[in-house]
Structure 1
Amino acid sequence: MYPSATSPTAPRTGAAQRPPTAAIRRPGPKPPLPARPAGRVEAPGFAPRAGADRLLRPRAPQPAPAVERADPAALAAPAVRAALAHITRICPAFSPRQVLREDSRHILVTGLIGRTAVVAKCLAPQPAQSERRAVLVERFHREVAVYRAFVRHRPPVRMPRLVAADHDRCVLVMERIPGRPAALERHPANAPTPGEVRAVLGSIRALNLWRPPTDVFQQPLDYQLEISRFHSIGQLTDRDAGDLRQLLYGLAHTAPQLCHGDALLSNILLAPSGPVLVDWEQAGWYLPGYDLAVLWSVLSGDTAARRQISQLAQVGGTLARDAFLVNLVLVLMRELRLYDVPGAGEEQRIMIRRLYDDAALARRAVRAAVGTR
């Protein structure tokens, strides 16, 4: 039995304990008990813990989380004000905070709906209707359709949740997920860390292996048309075009794969919960390995990452390898068409030389694949 907390001294360990007798302790008047504060009851034998008064007091209301300050100058731009008018039409409670991006294609504005952080994406106004405007509108409609399809069929990767959308005015409002882009440039000079690369490849692989209903997504890329287009402008030789068409003939019965379609590192956020894929306007059914080909083309400075991508592309066997090679050649031709323009700076010329080297390597791999069929 443990000694009472009111006894003057505690007995030593192992000492014999005797019951008190009249000879040792004579009865006498008991000393008065110390007065206790009113409204407080203590359990006998337990001293109050330090700081108990603080725990018993009601908690003060916690301050609201800090939000970004509004940027009046950027929000007052004519194009941004026109976009905000379309946003508030479908989300009257939207409170704009900052302009994330404003270019010739899109306007991205962050804001709040109540206490929920959101991002609104709008199509930038164009001075006149043109073929380029029609292509941008078609892609925006496709992205809205993809987000709505993901509401019914949840993908196995992290992506922003749809809040609201206006198909006619090309407005898309999504939740804002905190994170940083895996890269700021299309062709980054500094590659992500090996752990980040593995996480990105894991998310891409999970998306590619997912099999949603086939009628939900489209086929954004016409492979035969792309080969003919690059052949007509001289980027592909007669032999290159013939080799690619021969590989396509062997892939005629290969099941398509759901791909992001624009799996650049700048379209992948590194969030605490894992990679987050954004910008789904090119999502759809492709030949297997299209997303891997896009990542391979922009990771020219990371040999280890390219080796991992090549290994993933060949997991499915010879047909998967051939599909990856067809995708890789077409992606590299597109990158060369985008960047091999007059007036390029020194850094861009270095990148162009790397792209030509990569294209030559891909052509040799295609010829070797044709020779083994």
Structure 2
Amino acid sequence: MDGTTARPSRPALRPPTAGAGRPAPRAAELRDPRGRTTLVTRPLTDQAGRLGRPAAGRAPEAFVDRVDPAALQTPAVRAVLANVARICPAFLPRQVLREGSRHILIAGTIGRAPVVAKCLAPAALRGERAEQLIERFHHEVAVYRAFVRHRPPVRLPRLVAADHDRCVLVLERVPGRPAARERHPVNAPTPGEVRAVLGSVRTLNLWRPPTDVFGKPLDYQTEIARFHSLGLLTDRDAGDLRGLLHGLASMPWQLNHGDALLGNILLAPSGPVLLDWEQAGWYLPGYDLAVLWSVLSGDTAARRQISQLAQSGGTLARDAFLVNLVLVLMRELRLHDVPGAGEEQRIMIRRLYDDAALARRAVRAAVGTR
């Protein structure tokens, strides 16, 4: 994706020209007879020391939460707190971090350990997408449990407790700030922050856990057909993507976070921390890179770096990245190109259409080199 376009501020998509410490103890677990509800009775430890306590020689990284009794007393919050209390009777709520239509996040403590409870909102359980949201939450619970057995090489919140049936997760609360607070940030992270984020994402992508631990959240043929039926892909676009997919049939898949937005990456003192694992699983190589490329429209240098990483594995890796990129951009257009958009959103939509056109041209060029 190096090169030039009609708009020099945008990197062009172009196919390449040639082919210490002690080990952390495992936590004790209690499971119900169906094996669905897991309660971790002793917090796991990590390089920062015991959960909620700083390591020796480091300054405490305390959370200063303003207790908001009114927010903790809304019907939805009280309902999910009752579910949290079933698996964590010692959970002391401090602050509602988010009360949305899908999820409710509540910061609190268990003893001296700062934790956060993530729950599916009661309204989500009654909505039109209830089945899909419940399935995704169950998937995230399964991913966190899998990470207890197969520890990944990247930083993520440690599982404290989980209730599959009531859609509750209680996780270690990690100090830090999101890499961005907007899905498509106007001000990109600093070059050093971008390098750290890409380093963590690539470390995850190169990890090889047992293949039966994670599933395949994305059906590529179905996604192509869906965007084609919506008019976002032309007949030629769909045919080109299917042609690239055919050539990737024997390529090994790669473990990806699946939703590597900057808002899902926490910049902590110990390095980036990946949050929200609802869509983690096996993808064609480069899916996480495609997500990051799609949201960093204002950072030409970051996009060039992502493009180089995506193409470093050769022609097949390039083709996989391009398939991922087109589908990610189609999803973003589907999500944001809606009636009633404000001026700022319309500017972002125009950028997405420019990016999509760029990606289509790159796909056609890649098909021509096959």
TM-score range, shorter chain: 0.7 to 0.9
Residues 13-45 of structure 1 deviation map (CA, whole Å, 9 limit, x = unaligned): xxxxxxxxxxxxxxxxxxxxxxxxxxxxxxxxx
Residue aligning to 1:237: 234
Contact kept, 8 Å, 2:124 with 2:130, in 1: the verdict is no
Instruction: Kindly indicate whether residue 184 of structure 2 is the aligned counterpart of residue 191 of structure 1.
Output: no
Distance 2:211 2:133 in 1: 24
Distance 1:64 1:334, change over 3 A: closer
- 2:360 is matched with which residue: 359, 363, 366? 363
Letter in 1 for 2:237: D
Give, in whole Å, the separation in 1 of the partners of 2:148 and 2:107.
Answer: 22
Structure 2 Cα separation of the partners of residues 68 and 231 of structure 1: 47
- Structure 1 residue aligned with 2:159: 162
Number of aligned residue pairs? 311
> What is the Cα deviation at residue 126 of structure 1?
2.4
CA distance in 2, matches of 1:94, 1:129: 26
Q: Which has the larger Rg?
A: 1
Aligned to 2:72: 75
Q: Which amino acid aligns with 1:145?
A: A
Amino acid at match of 2:67: A
Q: Tell me how far 1:106 sits from its aligned partner.
A: 0.2
Q: Quote the Cα distance in structure 2 between the aligned partners of 1:224 and 1:314.
A: 23
Give the % identical residues. 83
The residue type paired with residue 252 of structure 1 is A
What's the offset of the Cα at 1:127?
Answer: 7.2
Structure 1 residue 315 corresponds to structure 2 residue 323: no
Q: 1:145 aligns with which of 139, 142, 145?
A: 142
**SS of 1:126 mapped into structure 2:** helix
> Where does 1:101-250 land on structure 2 (aligned, <5 Å)?
101-126=98-123, 129-250=126-247
| Alignment TM-score, normalising by the size of structure 2 | 0.83
The residue identity in structure 2 corresponding to 1:282 is Q
Structure 1 CA distance, aligned partners of 2:325 and 2:236? 17
CA pair 65-183 structure 1, distance change in 2 beyond 3 A: closer
Structure 1 residues 278-318: Cα deviation after superposition (integer angstroms, max 9, x where no partner)? 00000000000000000000000000000000000011100
For 1:68, the aligned partner's letter is D
Report the alpha carbon displacement of residue 66 of structure 1 after superposing the two structures with TM.
7.0
The reply on whether 1:327 has 2:298 as its aligned counterpart is: no
* Alpha-carbon shift at residue 73 of structure 1 (Å): 1.1
Higher relative contact order (CA 8 A, sep 6+): 2
- Structure 1 residues 255 and 66: CA distance shift in structure 2, 3 A: closer
1:347-358 mapped onto 2 (5 Å cutoff): 347-358=344-355
Normalised by the length of structure 1, the TM-score is 0.82
SS in 2 for 1:227: helix
SS at match of 2:276: coil
Amino acid at match of 1:280: W
Distance between the aligned counterparts of 1:194 and 1:111, measured in 2?
33
8 Å CA contact 2:206, 2:254 repeated in 1: yes
Which amino acid counterpart does residue 155 of structure 1 have in structure 2?
A: P
Matched AA of 1:326: V
In the TM superposition, residue 220 of structure 1 has moved relative to its aligned partner by 0.2
Which stretches of structure 1, 4 residues or more, deviate above 4 A after TM superposition?
Answer: 63-67, 127-131
Q: Distance in 1 between matches of 2:124 and 2:280?
A: 28
Corresponding residue for residue 37 of structure 2: none
Structure 1 residues 163-189: Cα deviation after superposition (integer angstroms, max 9, x where no partner): 000000000000000000000000000
Determine if the alignment matches structure 1 residue 257 to structure 2 residue 224.
no
Letter of the structure 1 residue corresponding to residue 230 of structure 2: I
Deviation at 1:81, TM superposition (A): 0.5
Q: Kindly state the Cα deviation for residue 71 of structure 1 after the two structures are TM-superposed.
A: 1.1
Shift of the alpha carbon at 1:131? 4.6
In the alignment, structure 1 segments of 5+ residues that lack a partner are 1-62
Q: Deviations over 1:217-240 (max 9, x none)?
A: 010000000000000110000000
Q: Secondary structure, in 3 states, of the residue corresponding to 1:169? A: coil
**Is 1:280 equivalent to 2:277 in the alignment?**
yes
Q: Does 1:303 align with 2:292?
A: no
Tell me by how many angstroms 1:128 deviates: 6.4
Structure 2 stretches lacking a partner, 5+ long? 1-59
The match for 2:27 is none
Closer, same or farther: CA 116–288 of 1 in aligned 2, 3 Å:
same
Aligned-residue CA RMSD in angstroms? 1.4
Q: Does 1:339 align with 2:321?
A: no
